Structure 1
């Protein structure tokens, strides 16, 4: 009986892990295909998305755009690039806004809208699910 209980528990945990693994969102940072930026590191990206700088490493203006707050891709991006959870991110921006030092990135509903914004402005950078990458964008970081 004792052995059967642990076997059932092990199967349940194993199935839970499989389901959780299937829900992982693979997010990549992209810029417009018209943008000359070839690659960026996590620190450079984090600095832009956390309002510490408004420029690409080459000095050009950077326009970060976030996906909707309810997006799993947004949570995955911020955890992997900045190490911040959604609640930590809210606290970060509350402090920045309160002190008058900046505003959070513009927010769009989804990756398709982000790519549309990139087509209009090559200085936009954002993150999308890997399966949305096409020839209109260039991947500059895979966190």
Structure 2
């Protein structure tokens, strides 16, 4: 397995069986986004055959890595670490918020919170936390 990124520091997302579904969903949300590379577990494990051993994908020029963890764990994603997206216009912000909130959880509904004229915070269906901000 040899998947690398061009960045020195890369956000790494650990899933338990739905890494590929999450990655495909995220790539569908951003123009120019793509799956850069993917390696899957084989029949000899240690993960379930066909699940993501390691993948790299790119969103808005930023690379991310993800896996399907072969180990069960008692923790998941937390809003204490989130992906912050500067949206160019309200249409982009509204579209992303609606897509990410579907089957997810709104932490802060879209609104004017003083620090931004339009901002929203959501945990998506996979538990990843996203802050969406309308650029000035």
TM-score, length of structure 2 as denominator length:
0.23
Which structure is higher in strand share? 2
Instruction: With a CA cutoff of 8 Å and minimum separation of 6, indicate the structure with the bigger relative contact order.
Output: 1
TM-score, length of structure 1 as denominator length:
0.22
Which structure is higher in helix share? 1
